[in-house]
Amino acid sequence: ETVSYGHPQRLRYTLDNDLLTPEQRLFYEENGFLLIRNLVSKQDIDRFRGEFERICRQEIKVPGLVVMRDVAIAKSEFVPDQRAVSKVQDFQEDPELFRYCSLPKILKYVECFIGPNIMAMHTMLINKPPDAGKKTSRHPMHQDLHYFPFRPVDRIVCAWTAMETVNRQNGCLVVLPGSHKGTLQEHDYPEWEGGVNKMYHGVRDYDPEHPRVHLEMEKGDTVFFHPLLIHGSGMNQTQGFRKAISCHYASGDCYYIDVKGTTQENIEKEVKEIIVRRHAVGDELTFKDTWAIRGRLVQGERISM
């Protein structure tokens, strides 16, 4: 292990591997994210896009899929486009979209962060709509770990791939470099006048003066980031739907935790309320069950997840 020689504590967020250069490894250690240009092919992205459009047109039905519409559109009397889907989640039962989560190019990088046993825990295709005028297309600054009742935190990573040019105009990712070295913050709905999308919690005491980096990306560019990295995305000021596909991975030997008495209690409560409303089940389905049901092994062994 040449990079860490004499500095055994320095490499906490990455594992020994033959893929990352020492510079890339140190970049992730210091910043909590790593951007790899042109990782996913245009052909693959076009296929994911085609599948998403078939889902939107309701030509196929995917078991377990959660379809979300922007709150400004969902609650508007003057619906600009009844069809406007802002996000689909949990596409693990869609073989075409789920192919993204198993792409060898992606998994090679994921392995550098979480090791060879890889579970795909959470899948999303985000179709950020043109802002309806109330800034509801923004995603508040947050840490993804807020949603996850599993640990250890350093064996979780997100892969997020731009499906087209993503820039400040259409609402690229915004990150606070180095924030992954902190702890999980309290999250709550931000006090935004125009409304906030369901479950779009933000860090409670977010400091808008903190140095930020806008991640402008081209089609196929992929960013890997740590679940404590504080990030969000801006308003979409264009007329197009800004598309990205993502998967959160965890090591097969992660373990579930009970979030009772922690800052995550509020999101657990919301998730349970939605499940009860949608599936007419009671308390017997726990927060961690909802994750164990969704999780899929994509490499190695499923040990404790």
Ligand X SMILES: O=C(O)CCC(=O)C(=O)O
Ligand Y SMILES: Nc1ncnc2c1ncn2[C@@H]1O[C@H](COP(=O)(O)OP(=O)(O)OP(=O)(O)O)[C@@H](O)[C@H]1O
Binding residues (CB under 6 A) for ligand X: these are 124, 126, 128, 139, 144, 173, 231, 233, 244
Q: CA 263 to CA 230: how far, in whole Å? A: 16
CB atoms within 10 A of CB 302: 15
Summarize the chain as % helix, strand, coil (round to 5): 25, 25, 50
The residue behind tokens 């250069």 is 21
Kindly state whether residue 168 participates in binding ligand Y, applying the rule CB under 6 A: no
99 binds, among ligand Y, ligand X, Fe ion, none (CB under 5 to 8 A by kind): none
Kindly state whether residue 184 participates in binding ligand MFK, applying the rule CB under 6 A: no
199 phi, psi to nearest 5 deg: 70, 5
Positions in 215-254 near ligand MFK (CB under 6 A): none
Q: CA 87 to CA 210: how far, in whole Å? A: 28
Kindly state whether residue 124 participates in binding Fe ion, applying the rule CB under 5 A: no
Q: CA 128 to CA 8: how far, in whole Å? A: 42
Applying CB under 6 A, among 91, 98, 113, 147 the residue interacting with ligand MFK is 147
Kindly state whether residue 74 participates in binding ligand Y, applying the rule CB under 6 A: no
Nearest to 173 by CA among 83, 129, 234: 234
CA distances from 239 to 171, 229, 235 (A): 12, 29, 11
Kindly state whether residue 269 participates in binding ligand MFK, applying the rule CB under 6 A: no
Kindly state whether residue 111 participates in binding Fe ion, applying the rule CB under 5 A: no
Kindly state whether residue 85 participates in binding ligand Y, applying the rule CB under 6 A: yes
In contact, 131 and 137? CB cutoff 8 Å: yes
Nearest to 227 by CA among 183, 186, 289: 183
Kindly state whether residue 257 participates in binding ligand MFK, applying the rule CB under 6 A: no
Q: Running DSSP on this structure, what letter comes out for residue 188?
A: E
Query: Closest approach of Cβ 244 to ligand Y, in Å?
Result: 12
Q: Which is nearer to ligand MFK, 19 or 60 (CB)?
A: 60
The residues, any chain, with a CB within 8 Å of residue 9's CB and separated by 6 or more, are none
CA distances from 61 to 64, 294, 297 (A): 9, 17, 23
Kindly state whether residue 84 participates in binding ligand Y, applying the rule CB under 6 A: yes
Q: Which is nearer to ligand MFK, 109 or 160 (CB)?
A: 160
Q: Which is nearer to ligand Y, 107 or 162 (CB)?
A: 162
Kindly state whether residue 71 participates in binding ligand MFK, applying the rule CB under 6 A: yes
197 binds, among ligand X, ligand MFK, Fe ion, none (CB under 5 to 8 A by kind): ligand MFK
Task: Please work out the total of residues on this chain that contact ligand MFK, with binding judged by CB under 6 A.
Answer: 17
Kindly state whether residue 56 participates in binding ligand Y, applying the rule CB under 6 A: yes
68 binds, among ligand MFK, ligand Y, Fe ion, none (CB under 5 to 8 A by kind): ligand MFK
Footprint of ligand MFK (CB under 6 A)? 66, 68-71, 74-75, 89, 122, 144, 147, 197-200, 271, 274
Footprint of Fe ion (CB under 5 A)? 144
Footprint of ligand Y (CB under 6 A)? 53, 56, 83-85, 127, 241
